[in-house]
Structure 1
Amino acid sequence: MSADKSLQRLPGSEDPTAEFLSLLAHELRNPLAPIGHAANVLRMLSGDERQGKWLDVIDRHVAHLARLVEELVDGARVQRQQVTLRKQWVDIAEIGREALEAFQPRIDALRQHLVAQLPAGSIRMECDPVRLRQVMDNLLDNAVTHALEGGTVELTIDRQGDALMIRVRDNGVGIAPEAIAHIFNVFSAATFGAETHANRLGVGLAITRSLVELHGGTITAASQGIGRGSTFLVRLPTSTPPPEALVSRFPSMHKTASTRILIVDDNADAAEALCTLLSLEGHVVKQAHTANDALYAVTAFDPAVVLLDIDLPDLSGYEVARRLRARVGHERLRIVALTAFGSARARARGQSAGFDEYLVKPVALDVLERALVLPEKGLEPGNSPER
C-alpha cells in the first residue's frame, strides 16, 4: 500500500508529521508479522537445535525492529504530549517477571548474567500496565545493550514506604559525568558512544522519563564514569488498593482446547503463516483475504473468533466489524483487530466499531493466545491498551 493511498483513506489529519509517522509505522509493522509467525512455525515443525538457534536470531531481530518502530512513533507522541494512560490495578511483580522472561533469550545469547530481585508476594498499584511494562523494557534494553557480552544486568523491584522502586543496573560502558544531565533527552544515545548505538534511535530513555512522569513518578540515572556501569532508579507513588481491585491483569477466562478461528488479511503470506501457526496450536482455522469473503465465511464457517485486519481492499475492517455486530445470531462472536495501525485514533475507531480486542502487529504468540480466550459468560471483553 502506498503512502498516497493511505493518506486518501485517512483524511482530516491536523498533524501531517504524526500522520506520516503513523503510516510509516503501519508499513514497517506489516512485514514483521509474517516473519515472526513463520519463525514460530519452523520452530514447532523442527526439533533441530541448530535450526532453533537461528530461529532465535530471527525472533530477537523481529522484536528489535518492532521496538524501533514503537520508539519512532512514541517519540513523536511524547514531543507532542499525546501519550495517555489507561490505568488499572495490577501486580507489579507480575509485570517484572514478564519483562525478564521476554529478555532472557537475548541475555542468554550475549552470555550475560541476570540478577533479579522481585517481591515474593504481589505489589499492587494503579498504573497503565502496558506503559509500565514499556518502562521496564526500555531500561532492560538499555542495560543489556550497555552490559555488552558477558556482562551483568540487575533488576530490583521493591516497595519502600509509599513508593515503588524499580532499579535497573549494568556493569557496562557507563556514562560520562557531563552526559548524565542530558541522558533523558531525545537522541541521547550519542552520549554513550556511537560504537554501541549504531542501530539505535536514542529516544527510549526520553520516552521512559515521560511515561514515569505521567504516572507521577521520577527517574534518575547514576554512573561512576566510563567503563563503570550505570544505574537507573524509578520511583512511583503507590496507594492502598480498594478491596475490589483484581490481583491479575486478566479477567477470569474460559479456554477451550480448540477454537474455530477466521483470519482476515489481504497479505497472503501473513494470513498463511498465522493460519499454519494456529493450526499447529490445535485450532481449526480458515482464511479470507477480502472483506466480502470474510462476511461470507463467518456464515459458512461459523467461527468463535475473527482475527480481522483493518486495511482490506474492498471494505475496511471497521465496516466488517460493524456489519458482523449488526447480524442476529453473532452476539457472542469475538472480533479481534490484528492490524499494523496503532494510533489512538485507530483504536478509538476500533472500539466504536465493536472490536473486543485491538492488537498491533507484530504480536507475540502468548499475547495472541490470550486474545483468543473467550471470557466467561457475563463478562465484558476489554480493548488492549494503546502501545
Structure 2
Amino acid sequence: MNARSGEQAPETRILLRTATSRDALMACAVLEHAGLQPRVCADMASLLQQFQDGAGALMLAEETLADDASAGALGQLLAAQPPWSDVPVLVLARSGADSRAITRAMAQPANITVIERPVRVAALVSAARSALRARSRQYEVRALLRDLNEADRRKTEFLATLAHELRNPLAPLSTALALLTRRQIDAADSAHYYALMQRQVEHMARLVDDLMEVSRITRGKIELRMDAVPLEAVLNDAIEQSRPYIRGAGHQLDRQLPARPLLLRGDAVRLTQIFANLLNNAAKYTAAGGRIGIAARELDGEARIEVSDTGMGIEPSMLDSVFDMFVQANGSARRAQGGLGIGLTLVKSLVELHGGRVAARSAGLGQGSTVVVHLPLLEPDQAGAAPAPLNGSAAGPAPEPGDQTVLIVDDNHDAADTLAELLGALGARPAIAYSGAQALRLVHEQMPRLAILDLGMPDMDGYELARRLRELPRGADILLVALSGWGQADDRERAAAAGFDRHLLKPAELEQLRALLDWHANALR
C-alpha cells in the first residue's frame, strides 16, 4: 500500500511494518488524515529496501521484532547510518510487561521511542510529527555538512592554485639571483636580470593585492568615491586597459554603445575595474582569433551591459556559482591561463556595491559565454557631483632629500638592511633597529624626525612602539610611517589610533619612498 505516492519526497515518508493488514489499514488512515505520508512494508526486508530510498521515520509493531533475524536486520540498518543520520523509530508495544523484543529494541544505541497500545490517535499523530521534525533537522545538518565539505574542497583547490601562482614568479627570481651571484656579469647584462626581477616582484604584489581587494570588498571595508560618471567613459577606459590582452590574442572586439549618453552614480575607478576584469577574462579564456563583444543599452531605468565571447563557455551547473569565492569553473583550462580566478568575485561584489546585479549565461562548454551587468542610471538633472574624499595630504614642491636621518625598525634583518640601502641611495641617512627596545635606545641617542616601523614585530610590536615614541618629550615631532603587509581599512585605522602619520604596504614602491623623503624634507623646513 502506498499512500499519496509522488506528492511528497521519499525522505518524509513514514515506513510502516505492522502485525496485521488490518493494523496497517487503520494506521494509514490515521496518518493520512493528519497529512502525513505512510508507506506499508510487507516484511522487514522490504522496509530495509525502502529505507535506502529515504524515510522520515520508522513505525514498527512489537510483533515484527520478535524473531532474531528481523531484530538483527534492524540493528544493522541503524548501525550503518551516516554520521548525520539518527532516524526516529517508533515501536508500537503491546500493553503489559516489557517483552524480550522491547528490551532488545531499547538496548539499541538508536533513536527509539516505545508507545504502548492501544494508543490515542492524537498521541500517535503527535509522536509521528515530532519524529519527522527531528528528522528534518538531521537533513539540515546533512546539507550543512555537504556545503562545508564543498567549501573546504574549493578552498583547498584555491590554496593549491595560490601556491602555484606564487611559485611562478619565485622561479625566475631564484634563477636570476643565482646567475647574478655565480657569474661575472657586466652592468649592461645585469640590467636585464634586474628588470626581470622587478617584473616578478610586481606580479607577486598584484596577486597579494587581489587577495586583499577581495577581502576588503566582501567584508564591506571599501570606500567608494561616488560621482556622476558617464557610462561611455567607463567602458572606453576598460577597453583601453584590456586592449593588450585582446590584441595579444588576436581577438576581434565588437562594441555597441547606447545612442544617448548614459550617466551612472558610482566610483569611476571601480566601475572601470568591473568591465576591465570581464574583458580580461573574455580575452584569456577565448582561443586566439576569437570574438569579444561589449554592448550597452538603456532598459527600464537601468544600464544593461553585456560582455560576450566565443571562448570555452561555462557548464550549465556552474552558472549560478561562478561568482562565488573559491569556485573554479573549467579549472584545468583556467590554470593554464594563470591567475587566481577571483576576478568574477570582485566583479559581483563591486556591482552589488553600486546597487546593481550580475549574471552569467552560456550554452555550455565550447559555446562561449556572456556576462550581463545591470546598473541603475541617473537622469541628467540628478548629476550633481559628489565631493571625493581626500586620500592623504598633498605634498608641496619636492626639494632634494639632503642629509636626512631615517630610523628603520624591522625584526627581519634582510628587510631592514635592504630598505636602509635603498633609502641611503636616495640621499637619506638610515639608522637601523631590529627591535622596539633597540629603536627606543637609538631615538634617545639620535632623535630622528622620520621613523619607518614594521608592525608585526615580537615582544614590542609597531603599534606599541609608536605609542611610546609619541610619549617622548619630542615624540610629537617625529613623522611615523607604518610599513606592513597588513593594509585593510581596520589595520589603517588601528595604525592611525597608535599615532602613525602614514601607512605603507610592503613592499614599498620606489616612488613612494621618494615621496616620503620629500615629505620629510618639507617638514624639516
- Separation in 2, partners of 1:340, 1:349: 14
Which whole-Å CA distance do the structure 1 matches of 2:235 and 2:266 have between them? 15
Identify the match of residue 59 of structure 1 among 201, 204, 209: 201
The equivalent of 2:330 in structure 1 is 192
Distance across 2 between alignment mates of 1:359 and 1:61: 18
Tell me the alpha carbon deviations over residues 113-147 of structure 1, each in whole angstroms, 9 at most, x when there is no partner: 79899xxxxx9966596x76875675466456435
Does the 8 Å CA contact 1:89/1:249 hold for their aligned counterparts?
Answer: no
| Aligned-partner SS, 2:476 | coil
Match of 2:215 in 1: 74
Cα deviation digits, residues 264-305 of structure 1 (max 9, x gap):
211111222333334444444333211123234445555443
Partners of 1:253 and 1:375 within 8 A in 2: no
Give the residue type in structure 1 aligned to 2:335: H
> Out of 326, 329, 342, which is 2:474 matched to?
329
Deviation for aligned residue 1:310: 1.0
The answer (yes or no) to whether the contact 1:217–1:235 under 8 Å persists in 2 is yes
| Cα 1:344–1:89 shift into 2, 3 Å | closer
Alignment of 1:271 onto 2:410: no
Which residue of structure 1 lines up, in the alignment, with residue 223 of structure 2?
86
Letter in 2 for 1:86: E
Q: What corresponds to 1:338 in structure 2? A: 483
Cα shift at 1:353: 0.5
CA distance in 1 between counterparts of 2:512 and 2:252 reads 24
Residue of structure 2 in register with 1:245 after alignment: 387
Partner residue of 2:505 out of 347, 360, 370: 360
1:294-336 deviations in Å (ceiling 9; x for gaps): 2344455554432211122331111111122233434343322
CA distance in 2: counterparts of 1:322 and 1:144, whole angstroms:
50
One-letter amino acid of the structure 2 residue matched with residue 192 of structure 1: N
- Paired with 2:423 and 2:236, the residues of 1 have a C-alpha distance of 26
Residues in 2 aligned to 1:287 and 1:182: alpha-carbon distance in whole angstroms: 50
TM-score calculated relative to the size of structure 2 = 0.47
Indicate conservation of the 8 Å contact 1:165/1:236, yes or no.
yes
Aligned length: 332
Residues 162-177 of structure 1 aligned to structure 2 (within 5 Å): 172-176=311-315
What amino acid is the match of 1:196?
A: R
SS at match of 2:323: coil
Aligned position for 2:127: none
Distance in 1 of aligned mates of 2:238 and 2:511: 13
Q: With a CA cutoff of 8 Å and minimum separation of 6, indicate the structure with the bigger relative contact order.
A: 1
Measure, in 1, the Cα distance between the counterparts of 2:355 and 2:511.
Answer: 30
Paired residues of 2:311 and 2:367 also in contact (CA < 8 A) = yes
Q: C-alpha deviations, 1:7-50, integer Å up to 9, x for none?
A: xxxxxxxxxxxxxx9xx9xxx9xx99xx8xx99x99xx955464
| Mapping of residues 365-384 of structure 1, within 5 Å | 365-366=510-511, 374=519
Query: Secondary structure at the residue paired with 2:470?
Result: helix
How far, CA to CA, are the matches of 1:114 and 1:52 in structure 2? Answer: 35
Deviates more, 1:229-238 or 1:58-67: 229-238
- Alpha carbons of 1:132 and 1:272: their partners in 2 closer, same or farther (altered >3 Å)? farther
The 5-angstrom pairing of residues 24-43 of structure 1 reads none
CA contact (8 A) 1:252 1:375 kept: no
8 Å contact kept, 1:209–1:218? yes
Shift of residue 350, structure 1, vs aligned partner: 1.6
Give the letter aligned to residue 314 of structure 2: I
Query: Any unmatched runs of 5+ in structure 1?
Result: 1-20, 118-122, 379-387
Letter of the aligned partner of 1:51 in structure 2?
Y
Which residue does 2:3 correspond to in 1? Answer: none
Q: TM-score, normalised by structure 1?
A: 0.60
Q: Secondary structure at 1:335's aligned position in 2?
A: strand
Q: Is 2:228–2:386's contact at 8 Å kept on the other side of the alignment?
A: no
Identity, in percent, stands at 31
Q: SS of the residue aligned with 2:464?
A: helix
Q: Distance in 2 between matches of 1:350 and 1:224?
A: 50
Shift of the alpha carbon at 1:201?
5.1
1:201–1:87 CA distance, 2 compared to 1 (3 A): closer
Measure how far apart 1:247 and its partner are. 9.0
Paired residue type of 2:420? C
| Structure 1 pair 265–56 and aligned structure 2 pair: CA distance change class (3 A) | closer
* Deviation of 1:352 (Å): 1.4
Q: Bigger radius of gyration, 1 or 2?
A: 2
Q: Match for 1:146 among 277, 280, 285?
A: 285
The change in CA–CA distance for 1:166 and 1:314 in structure 2 (over 3 A counts) is farther
- 3-state SS in 2 of match to 1:182: coil
User: Shift of the alpha carbon at 1:236?
Assistant: 4.7
Residues 377 and 364 of structure 1, relative CA distance in 2, 3 Å threshold: closer
Letter in 2 for 1:306: A
**Comparing 165-174 and 311-320, the one that deviates more:** 165-174
The residue type equivalent to 2:215 in the other structure is: D
For residues 368 and 375 of structure 1, do their structure 2 counterparts lie closer, same or farther at Cα, with a shift above 3 Å needed? Answer: closer
CA RMSD of aligned residues (A): 5.4
